[in-house]
Structure 1
């Protein structure tokens, strides 16, 4: 099988695992009595990203080939995802402490795979004599396709009296409202575990006499010695504060319009996960633009575009609603997400790969994950949760329980934050003179 095709399938499965629950989990948590903890579920992803990607990066640099470690992490994460399904299956209101504990263990092994999949792909492409900047983005597109595929599946799939079906109409048994989304994620994780062991080898760098700091992967911190890279990682963390806000709250926000009588039966309110998937479709298309923008304009301009796109992402949510013409603004918010996410995450990963030494490549990717999905996402998600829980609350209505309140103020606060970060980045970050 063609090398690019094999890596495309790896990326498809990598993000299909995440797409099964990432944007729809909040809807289930609200119905399972854990609505107030939604921000914590997304913050946990950030907390484990502070140390797990770095640890796994060190292991991938020195002990286990990254593609094999990628598979092992998915096996463990998948087991805990299936455990979440079993716990939810046993009770409509599962034990909160046990549920959070199992979820934490699952994402602790999933989050490092985001960096490991990049490391493995870059190594395999280079061993095949291919150009990472040119050839990786089209491969990474299939990760987004996988994310979209499982979002659509979870949005449309339902169980009614034990019978499986697919529909776009309102149905209380839809996977997006239930614990079944975790089962989908677990099964896909098992498939990816098996597939990873069919990938080409990513040979480890020859072992040499090393210091304790090098053995622990701490030499990746040496990248902070240069002002340019220190600023890059700092702003990665600041922008990372925006990453999980809409993943955690976009679908509960859009679904909340079911609690407003005149909008309760709108297509958007009843198919929030499907609507949000437009974000991933835009992401897939925007990835293809990265090689051009990176080569033509450089990392600073690409990051600036991403930051301004986050301003629009939040602003459009604040201005829109679930019926025409307001729903058009929701669609626009989803479209700009492609630029907001890709121009930051994918370009950032490529930039780090180009800037770091080969001996710490996996550790450096782990460092990028630590700053973005670790420190940044943790702080950002918890603060966003505080803001939303201040202005909104879960309310029981004839249509169900929904998170209602002053959402517009929340989205405008997030947009203002992204704008401040963009302005500061434009003023202080400098790139190499060519």
Structure 2
């Protein structure tokens, strides 16, 4: 019998395994994909997430760009602020990281630790008992473990009695693309709030990764434009604070929703990462929140005896350790989306005042930066 069976070999599931891998526990990782994802996405990680991954000996050596400052503004109104790493006395507020680089680094770490990732193992059944969780896979394989960790984006959570999700559809799409400007980014990211939703530029190598929130109809229109016309629209939407946009790469779009699970634990089960909460990408909180899930769960695994793994007391402690950070992270993200896009909740002058206060009062600015980097912390 395994001590821990992890369903999902993405960054959060693999980080749980990496952090707990030196504790002498018997850990198995199971992934429905047939092999590495070769995902082309760029991830936004906070400085605190870097510390978590360094603690797991899994920080990528390449494919990383620091974010040393973040310029925040609103369209159609006054007010702006600038968050800087130097004010926090850290080398960077965060980093953009190639998904493939993080994935391969985590997999190499698990190989070095003797943790096997079994690809091509799609879950078909989960049975929970007082003493163990049993998972059956499409291949015919069966795994029995003291603790089942679901890190699969929610693909299998509803197989468990009592697990349900609440979903809020923002009726928006996030349009993504690599873009270039006529001047160096200087390790600065930009977050611009508009009536249509937030738009962000994240430094990646010598270019930016664009995340442009729009209604489904508007996103469809923008996707259909040729490159020259798209750059004109982007310039009008974002302004010239990052320079003149000169080039755009392949564009894609995905729907934006807030989804939260009713409880992140069940009998012999812990639910982590996007399987527990999937957030709007504003302020880049989603994966960072998931990595803090991984750290908290791994700490619980490594500080208790083998016999306590998966027991009700351990799971209750894990749930409580994540409660405050999760609730505040979800509320913070949802507030930013709603308040800066809906003039009925916060008028333009109110948003401008908030940004001005942040700019004029360093303690308030430092508090915001701390929240973005570290989350709400432990109770």
* TM, length-normalised to structure 2: 0.30
Q: Which has the higher contact order (CA 8 A, sep 6+)?
A: 1
The structure richer in strand per residue is 2
Instruction: Kindly indicate which of the two structures has a greater share of residues assigned to helix.
Output: 1
What TM-score, normalized by structure 1, do the two folds share?
A: 0.27
